[in-house]
Structure formats: structure tokens, C-alpha cells
Amino acid sequence: MQHTLLVTGSPYQSKACHSALCFARAALTAQPDSIKGVFFYEDAVLIGNDLAQPPRDEINLKQAWQTLASEFNLPLYLCIAAAVRRGVINETESKRYELNHHSLSSGFQLEGLGTFVELMNSTQKIIQFR
Amino acid sequence: MKNTLIHLTSSPYSSIACKEGLDLALVLATFEQKVDLCLSDAALSLLTKHQQPEPEQGKNLHKLLDGLEFYDIENVFIESSSLAPDPATQWPGITSLDSAAWSELFSSYQQVFRF
């Protein structure tokens, strides 16, 4: 069975991103193709902000997701509308809005909700972390 | 195609969760997915008529309700105990369910997303 993870809880106000990470790690370790993709929506898109620097004695959640994604070739999607609204911007969007900076971390990609619909229809189960 | 229930529980004015839940519903419907809505808790205030929020209070999401039918979103459920004492103050497109039907609602969809 293949899963899609929908993560909506803020990385700062909830444990959604932490719990989803633990679930994804356990599932992928048990069965490497058990998760087709992770879609971050609402405040969860803040996970992809490259400029955020957690204190050194705390978990670097963004890095933990990047490591997991690279180890298992797991796509990490951020909803583009939710991300741009919150200042998580890739190079293309930065040019579109005529900004001098971009802030999207490597390993994450901005995608529309249509990508979520495609994931929804091509996997057996979706699990929301909020 | 899967059938999806979007359960709104957040106030339209305390965060943008309600808006982002509605956005997801509209996108699902645009992609011809079967989607219904249900509202409870603070999200019920979305149904109150004659809302005139100032920009700093948030968008007037109530206005979106009349457009749902154009997306083929036909069902907006609430629990009958959440009906307004004066029905004239509440958006008329809702379907109210008794508590047994309300409880069963959540297991009759392949997926339920909460906002």
C-alpha cells in the first residue's frame, strides 16, 4: 500500500511536521516505496524556509526532512500559494514578484494543489498531520 | 475518483485555516473530485449572514458559499444542534443532520481533511 502524507500543522505551533517525519521514517524504513510523496499545506510550508535557523541545541527539522527525502528519493511538495503567501519563494517566483531574494530550501519544491489531487488519486491512503 | 469530506472547524477570522480548507475544496472540485463540506465549532460563524469584515479582519469568506454550486459542491453539512435559533440569520444552503447521521458522516468518505 502506498501512502500520501498531507502535513498542515505549523512546525512552530504544533508537532505535525515532527510526527509526520517520524511516521515517514518508520514507514520508509519498513518498506522503501510506502510513501509516494509528502504535501505540505497551510503553515506546514514554513518547513521549507531556508532562512530559518533553529538554535543549535534543537532538532533541525528542515534538515531532517531533507536527509530523509534524499535517502529515500521522497518528493517534498509545498503548496505554492500557501508558501508564497508566507515568504517561502523559489527562484522562479522571486523573479515573478521582482524580489531580490529567494528562500526555498533544497529538497523541497513548490507545486499547486493539483499535484496533491494527483497524489490523492494515485495512492491508497492519505494521512493528515495537523 | 475518491470522495472527500472537508471538515471546517476553525473560525474564519482567527486564522486562514478556514480559507485554505475552502481553497482545497474548490481545487478538488475543479479537478472533478467529489467533495462535500461540513462545519462545526468556530467555523459555523462562516454561515452567519450579513458579514462585513474589514480588510484587517480577513476576507469575507461567507461570500464564497453562494458560489459553491458552480463548483458542483452541493452538500454543506452541519449538526442539527448547530442550527441558529433564528434560521433567517444563517446561510440557507446547509443540510442539517441529527447526531447519529452526523457521527456516521465521517466514515462515509474515503478521506476527511480537517481545517
Q: What is the mean pLDDT of chain A?
A: 97
Of residues A5, A74, A79, A89, which has the active-site annotation? A79
In which residue are the cell numbers 516505496 written? A33
Q: Taking the CB of residue B106, how many other CB atoms lie within 10 A of it?
A: 12
A72-128 pLDDT per residue, tens:
999 999 999 999 999 999 999 999 999 999 999 999 999 999 999 999 999 999 999
Nearest-by-Cβ selection for A121 from B2, B27, B113: B2
Angle at which helices A16-30 and A61-72 cross, to 10°: 20
- Quote the CA–CA distance of B96 and B76 in Å, as a whole number: 8
Tell me how far apart the 2 most distant CA atoms of chain B are, in Å: 39
- Residue pair A81/A44 in contact (Cβ under 8 Å)? The answer is no
Phi-psi region of B36 (alpha: psi -120 to 50; beta: other; left: phi over 0): beta
Q: Say whether A79 is catalytic.
A: yes
| CA–CA min distance A57, chain B (Å) | 30
Q: Taking the CB of residue B101, how many other CB atoms lie within 10 A of it?
A: 14
Q: How many domains does chain B have?
A: 1
Please report the sign of the dihedral spanned by the C-alpha atoms of residue B36, residue A43, residue B65, residue B44: positive
Structural domain boundaries enclosing B11: 3-114
| CA–CA min distance A11, chain B (Å) | 15
B30-52 pLDDT per residue, tens:
999 999 999 999 999 999 999 99
- Quote the CA–CA distance of B5 and A123 in Å, as a whole number: 17
pLDDT of A63 higher than 80:
yes
- The architecture CATH gives domain A3-129: 3-Layer(aba) Sandwich (3.40)
Assign residue B44 the CATH number of its domain.
3.40.1260.10
Phi-psi region of A73 (alpha: psi -120 to 50; beta: other; left: phi over 0): left
Report domain extents, chain A: 3-129
Which candidate, A20, A73, A74, places its Cα nearest to that of A47?
A: A20
Which residues in chain A have Cβ-Cβ distances shorter than 8 Å to B20? 8, 41-42, 82
**DSSP H helical ranges for chain B:** 17-30, 62-65, 99-105
Best mutation target, B9, B113, B114, to test chain A (most A CBs within 10 A): B113
Contact (CB<8Å) A117/B33: yes
Nearest CA in chain A to B21: A42
- State residue A97's pLDDT score: 97
- Give SS3 for A35: strand
Which residues in chain A have Cβ-Cβ distances shorter than 8 Å to B28? 113, 117
Which residues in chain B have Cβ-Cβ distances shorter than 8 Å to A114? 27, 31
- State residue B1's pLDDT score: 73
| CA–CA min distance A128, chain B (Å) | 7
A4 residue type, one letter: T
- State residue A55's pLDDT score: 95
Which candidate, B33, B105, B34, B30, places its Cα nearest to that of B67?
A: B30
| Beta strand ranges found along A1-130 (DSSP E) | 3-7, 35-40, 76-79, 108-111, 125-129
- pLDDT-based confidence at B2, cuts 50/70/90? confident
